[in-house]
Structure 1
Amino acid sequence: MKFFLAFTSMMMSLSIFAQDIDCSSYNPKFYPNKSLDDIEKVLSRYEHVGRYPVVGKTTCRIKYSTKDYEAKIARKDKEAGSAKVSVESHGIKFKNESPELIKIFEKLTTKENFIVSDDEHNFTSKCDKVLCAVKEIFGDDVGPRILYIHQEYGLNASYLSFRDADNWQKDELDLMLWGLEDLPRGMLPLEDNRSFVKMQKGMTYKMYSGSGGCVGANAELRFFDCLWNNFGSDLNRMAVLAHEVAHFVGHKLNADNSSEWEDLSGWESEMSFENYDLKTEWSKSEDACFFSTYGQTNPAEDFAEAFVAYRYVADEYKKECPEKYQYLRDKVFNGIEFTKDKKYCEKRDQVKFELTRSQKIQMFLPF
């Protein structure tokens, strides 16, 4: 492609559709070697894949009750089969409790970069079980969800663990779980105790704090005010989660910066110094296939948008960008597909993701 659509805000949807374009103003000299059909096709792209209408039809929309999550926690703990222990943690005396659940409780109640004992959280409670304790600390509905998210995905959603974090609301966590449950079972965790927190009101992503941009979340899986105030619908917010999880997965598997991935779009970089800062400018091949304008920013954003397209716009992505589709299928999702004929949502309980030997090796290679 020989042109790039720039937008004032990073996170606004491109609302142009091919059928709405005024084609009478088309002038070939501005788009050499491009047909009118090509121009319309590119202009009809959204800034983010998550804004494609089909996403609302391809998400599984999984939603469980608090009791469901409690049952899932108990079931997985039973499968672990560990001998029960009695131990005191953060002032709470647990009796005949699962050692795995106690370890999770300790992570949920220990501050990030914990150094001195004066910073330790201590509680006064009559609870002697972890489930009881997290309900008391985080809330009757939020506590079981936070415990489940750590047990199932290795993600720490506790405001007690991270600076400037806030406690979740039940509906907010249900939205996050909606997105997480759309992933193949077993894709996460890729890292133990990864942050997964809602930041306090007024907090913003420091990288863009001075630009006026609206950043809903970042690749550290920290979620900001903007996500709840400026993204319109839960579907849009869920898509933001998918995009940031894609960054996390791509980084851990070294899948978003591999030479193989960069070659698919002809990515090339040029580094320079500007105001004593090192800048990287990316260029791409003219015929590279993208499903969003934001994906044209650099290889990492290309990967994150491709990840979302592979999961939620699978049939269209497979047809339009077959080489990238194959890369995601073979190198990231390990053969799991989401095209209509695969009926993933109907069969999701039987679909199990497992890391390949190559992926396990990649996770321990330097970046």
Structure 2
Amino acid sequence: MGAPKLLAGLCLSVPVLLLIVMVVLIGADPGQACAAAVSGGMQEPTGQSVAGLNDRQLQLARNGVVIGKQRREPEQVIIAELAAQATESTLRNLANPTVPESLRYANDGLGYDHDSVGPHQMRASVWGGAGMVSLMNPVYQINWFYQQADRYAGQSLSSPELAQAVERSAPDVYATQMELARRLYAMFASIDPPSVTGTTGGLQPSGCGSEGSGAPLSGDDGAFGAAVVAAAQRWIGTPYVWAGGDVTGPTGGGFDCSGLTLYAVYQASGGRIRLPHYTQYQQDSRQARPVPFADRQPGDLIFFTKPGKSASHHVAIYLGHNASGQDMVLHAPDVAETVRISPLAAVQGPDRLVVRRYNTSPTTAPAPGRSTRPGPAGRD
């Protein structure tokens, strides 16, 4: 959501009024929103295919249709909701590094538009009174759209006009998604909400349980990873300095790659994890847990090793996927560059990747044969 949405939200900025609106429109208990939309939150495969969309995206579209039908919304309103999702987030439940708490919830990637989160890109600074557990809940956000749209009932707005009235984004931007929105509506319009309720097998809506996009990440890994990202992202734009960075921040005017990661992990752990200033020794730390690449989460460290070499030469902080599905990392790249966010593929090249996750109790010993004396800092 851009600046126009913030201006719209400021009309509700008085705390008491905001609380009243949130309670009346959405309900103070996010669990009630979940219970009210059980049939809209199925996480089973859709059994459908649309070029360019994965099944997670199609599940969000299906939820938009089913929740709309449950609410007895007209067809053009449901199509407006689908067009809004497609425009705002490309049908993804997006977390945002600017809102570190959002990284604690399972998501479909990262967005970077101000402090917007979720499939409808609701701004945390405007709608945050509902709590992040609600804002990262796709069912909640879909209901939010319909509740806002109901305010325009009787005004004979077209689907793109209605999406614009609710979202308040760039003029005519939603019209570009009308063909896709109509196709998605036709794909799922035959679903009968009562029959869906009977076939969910007890599954809770997306974001309303221990699984699915929008659900809190298990254990402390999600919270710790979010803290690692939050600690590092404040230094975006800081110059690369070889051997730069310690537990207090930049040294010599900047960071190198392992200086940035040791700082972020130290800060996220409240000083309980103090990594050495060398990539391979960080990778071999007793507090580093090996993680399969497929199980990577925001805040994990990714180590890069050149072909034919045994020691890593670079490290980056994993951020998750962007709206296009690309893996993104935060790192201090090299001399004459600055701390930045980059696509993982652009950093990797032919390197071998290893993922490590950190916690505050020893889990793994250093790899056999590794020295524990201080090594060189940064790349190579």
TM-score, shorter chain, exceeding 0.5: no
User: Which TM bucket (shorter chain)?
Assistant: under 0.3
- Pick the structure with more helix per residue: 1
Q: TM-score when scaled to structure 2?
A: 0.22
